[in-house]
């Protein structure tokens, strides 16, 4: 039977356009129409999602046809017999209140509200909703595909989501078309009203022999009644259409949403109550004061409920924390070690608090960007946290959970450093600059201008911390660049240079081997930003050797121009070279294993080399020049490893890394 119900109803509606219907049956049909439209409107109020009533466009068409059939039947009865049943006459007499003019005006107002406000608005909203839903479909489909590929949802869930998106698009598209029925139905109602009044007046006077006043009163009341029994359901249908096309995504009913969103802020209630009190001073007092009292009471209740919710949340948080501590599996979260941590005492908190004007967080973001441009590395997230165990003005820097450096600042002071050319002295607190270990003085803000005038380098506390943190990250860059970071760098190159990556990884080298080469470069301060050159060099030489130390040297030679530019500022530079005998001794002492090569020198020879090197380096430092050691390509790496324990910041270059445009002059030689 269910398969034939709707077709049967449609056939009956179409027949009602042709077959006359008695007054009594018309009364029942009108009541059914009002009840159906009331049910539809209330369903749209209580639904949580537009798809809960996905058959609404079809129902809209059926109810519109049904209402038009009733209009035509009522018009036939009004014009043929001057009577359209008790329902229509009752509506007309009740609304008119004994005056056809008042009834007619009320009816016109209802029609105008329905046509101009509700119908036009719902039509426009339905049109916009259909357009935006269709435009958003590709993005939603891509989001579903991304969630499916990442494993967040299953194939079944993806199919369900796609089906929902398709149903939404079909629904809003159908609503866009069905809303035209509502608009045109309102227009037809106006035309039928004019026909009923004019036609009824003429028929009453000519065919029924009524007087002009009697004919006008009789047919006007019947027309008003017929219009009302049609327009009231039409208004409800229009309202239901507006509700369903303006329904935003929500998990609750419309009533709950309105109450939650309108009456949620106690301050709003208090301000509204105060406004009503002010208005009562100039306007009738009783209504305004009564509403003000109600609003104030609502605000008071909201305040009490807010306090109760806050207390309940605090209790729940405490209970949750206790439960988390008791759960044995939560020990796993404690195993996580942050790559970089900056801990500080409570006195430094204002520097990290945006509400107090601190910009330390912004400086940390800039550090990550600066190192990406300068070193080409991906700096992990830098964790900032306060530590009450530290002195108020003290801070420490941790790498992988281990303290590697610390410093202390004075918030309301500036650090002044003598670049070496200033003779005037300043009064202040002597200290040491934490990043480079240079002597410095803490001065007050009032001394800042005088210090700068003398030629001192003046730095504020946030800059001191940021510079210190930057140098620490550079120093431990080789430890912070692991396989995951290297994979991100490779993926970045793959976007524009896929051929290089496909040739190298994983056919010739694994990610771990590339990571060792990059770590060697970063350890000596060489930028890896030119990853294309790095990967191309590895692709050229990895078939020859898998020794990551040798591959590092090949990459350094390929990056020679950048290395020369970084470490040698002038076109002419003084350097320290190695005695050929020393290079031969180093080569002869090499011990090669399957895990790499290392130097095996006697301690006496090592001491002799270090003493000779120290003398040469000290002489250049006294001249104010950067000490640079120049060695042959084969020896460079091993000499660097020999000296890095005694002089970790020493620059050791090979002849093949020098830019041809740079002239170097040997001012000293390391010998044995």
> In the prediction, which pLDDT does 511 show?
92
Rounded to whole angstroms, the Cα distance separating 141 from 133 reads 12
- Chain-wide mean pLDDT for the chain? 78
Phi, psi of 345 (to 5 degrees): -75, 170
CA nearest to 650, candidates 608, 671, 620: 620
Whether the pLDDT of residue 251 is over 60: the answer is: no
Counting Cβ atoms within 10 Å, is residue 370 exposed (0-12), middle (13-18) or buried (19+)? Answer: middle
Residue with tokens 């519109």: 64
Rounded to whole angstroms, the Cα distance separating 527 from 622 reads 29
First to last CA, the chain: 109
Q: Quick check: 576 and 620 in contact, CB under 8 A?
A: yes
Phi, psi of 625 (to 5 degrees): -115, 155
Three-state DSSP state, 386: strand
pLDDT in tens, 145-182: 666 665 667 777 777 777 777 766 666 666 555 556 66
Mean pLDDT score, 53-71: 71
Whether the pLDDT of residue 283 is over 70: the answer is: no
**Helices 548-558/531-541 angle, 10° precision:** 130
Instruction: Return the structure tokens found at 323.
Output: 């439960």
Phi, psi of 651 (to 5 degrees): -90, 120
Instruction: Return the structure tokens found at 39.
Output: 């049910």
529 — pLDDT class (breaks 50, 70, 90): very high
Which has the higher per-residue pLDDT, 54 or 361?
A: 361
What is the model's pTM?
Answer: 0.54
Whether the pLDDT of residue 17 is over 80: the answer is: no
CA nearest to 669, candidates 592, 579, 587: 579
Whether the pLDDT of residue 483 is over 80: the answer is: yes
Whether the pLDDT of residue 95 is over 60: the answer is: no
> In the prediction, which pLDDT does 248 show?
47
Mean pLDDT score, 391-396: 93
Mean pLDDT score, 461-477: 93
> In the prediction, which pLDDT does 249 show?
46
> In the prediction, which pLDDT does 290 show?
84
Output the 3-class SS for 269-308.
HHHHHHHHHHHHCCCCHHHHHHHHHHHHHHHHHHHHHHHH
Instruction: Return the structure tokens found at 36.
Output: 């159906």
Instruction: Return the structure tokens found at 101.
Output: 């003019």
Which has the higher per-residue pLDDT, 592 or 4?
A: 592
Which has the higher per-residue pLDDT, 24 or 615?
A: 615
> In the prediction, which pLDDT does 626 show?
84
Three-state DSSP state, 443: strand
> In the prediction, which pLDDT does 404 show?
94
Mean pLDDT score, 456-480: 93
325 — pLDDT class (breaks 50, 70, 90): low
Rounded to whole angstroms, the Cα distance separating 75 from 59 reads 24
Three-state DSSP state, 508: coil
Rounded to whole angstroms, the Cα distance separating 352 from 349 reads 5
Q: Quick check: 605 and 646 in contact, CB under 8 A?
A: no
> In the prediction, which pLDDT does 554 show?
93
CA nearest to 653, candidates 584, 582, 573, 581: 573
Q: Which of 97-101, 170-174, 565-569 has the highest mean pLDDT?
A: 565-569
């Amino acid at each position: 039977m269910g398969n034939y119900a709707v077709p049967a109803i449609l056939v009956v509606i179409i027949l009602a356009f042709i077959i006359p219907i008695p007054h009594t049956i018309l009364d029942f049909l009108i009541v059914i129409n009002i009840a159906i439209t009331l049910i539809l409107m209330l369903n749209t109020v209580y639904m949580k999602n537009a798809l809960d009533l996905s058959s609404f466009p079809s129902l809209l068409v059926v109810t519109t046809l049904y209402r038009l059939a009733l209009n035509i039947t009522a018009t036939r009865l009004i014009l043929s017999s001057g009577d359209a049943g008790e329902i229509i006459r009752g509506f007309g007499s009740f609304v008119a209140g004994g005056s056809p003019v008042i009834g007619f005006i009320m009816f016109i107002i209802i029609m105008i509200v329905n046509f101009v406000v509700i119908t036009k608005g719902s039509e426009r909203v339905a049109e916009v909703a259909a357009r935006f839903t269709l435009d958003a479909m590709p993005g939603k489909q891509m989001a579903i595909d991304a969630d499916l590929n990442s494993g967040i949802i299953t194939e079944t869930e993806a199919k369900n989501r796609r089906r929902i998106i398709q149903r939404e698009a079909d629904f809003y598209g159908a609503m866009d078309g069905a809303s035209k029925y509502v608009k045109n139905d309102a227009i037809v109602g106006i035309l039928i009203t004019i026909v009923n009044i004019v036609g009824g007046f003429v028929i009453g006077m000519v065919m029924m022999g009524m007087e002009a006043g009697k004919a006008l009163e009789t047919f006007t009341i019947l027309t008003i009644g017929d219009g009302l029994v049609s327009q009231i359901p039409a208004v409800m249908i229009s309202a239901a259409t507006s509700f369903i096309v303006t329904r935003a995504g929500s998990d609750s009913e419309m009533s709950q949403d309105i109450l939650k969103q309108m009456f949620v802020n106690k301050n709003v209630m208090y301000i509204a109550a105060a406004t009503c009190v002010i208005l009562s001073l100039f306007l009738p007092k009783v209504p305004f004061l009564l509403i003000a009292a109600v609003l104030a009471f609502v605000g008071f209740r909201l305040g009490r409920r807010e306090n109760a919710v806050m207390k309940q949340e605090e209790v729940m948080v405490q209970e949750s924390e206790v439960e988390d501590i008791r759960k044995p599996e939560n020990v796993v979260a404690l195993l996580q070690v942050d790559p970089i941590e900056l801990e500080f005492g409570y006195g430094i908190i204002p520097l990290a608090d945006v509400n107090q004007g601190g910009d330390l967080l912004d400086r940390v973001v800039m550090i990550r960007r600066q190192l990406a441009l300068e070193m080409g590395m991906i700096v992990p997230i830098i964790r900032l946290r306060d530590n009450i165990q530290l002195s108020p003005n003290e801070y420490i820097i941790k790498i992988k959970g281990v303290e590697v450096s610390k410093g202390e600042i004075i918030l309301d002071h500036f650090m002044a450093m003598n670049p070496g050319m200033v003779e005037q002295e300043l009064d202040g607190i002597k200290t040491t600059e934490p990043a480079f270990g240079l002597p410095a003085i803490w001065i007050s803000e009032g001394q800042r201008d005088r210090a700068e005038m003398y030629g001192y380098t003046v730095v504020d506390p946030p800059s001191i911390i940021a510079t210190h943190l930057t140098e620490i990250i550079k120093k431990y860059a080789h430890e912070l660049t692991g396989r995951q970071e290297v994979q991100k760098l490779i993926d970045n190159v793959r976007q524009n240079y896929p051929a290089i990556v496909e040739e190298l990884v994983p056919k010739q080298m694994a990610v771990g081997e590339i990571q060792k080469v990059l770590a060697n470069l970063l350890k000596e301060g060489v930028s890896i930003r030119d990853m294309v050159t790095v990967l191309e060099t590895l692709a050229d030489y990895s078939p020859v050797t898998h020794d990551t130390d040798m591959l590092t040297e090949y990459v350094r030679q390929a990056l020679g121009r950048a290395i020369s530019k970084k470490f040698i500022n002038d076109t002419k530079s003084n350097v320290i070279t190695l005695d050929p005998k020393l290079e031969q001794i180093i080569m002869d002492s090499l011990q090669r294993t399957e895990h790499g090569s290392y130097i095996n020198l006697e301690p006496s020879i090592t001491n002799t080399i270090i003493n000779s090197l120290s003398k040469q380096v000290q002489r250049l430092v006294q001249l104010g020049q950067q000490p640079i050691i120049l060695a042959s390509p084969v020896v460079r790496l091993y000499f660097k490893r020999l000296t890095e324990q005694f002089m970790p910041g020493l620059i050791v270059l090979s002849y093949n890394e020098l830019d041809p445009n740079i002239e170097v002059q040997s001012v000293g030689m390391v010998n044995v």
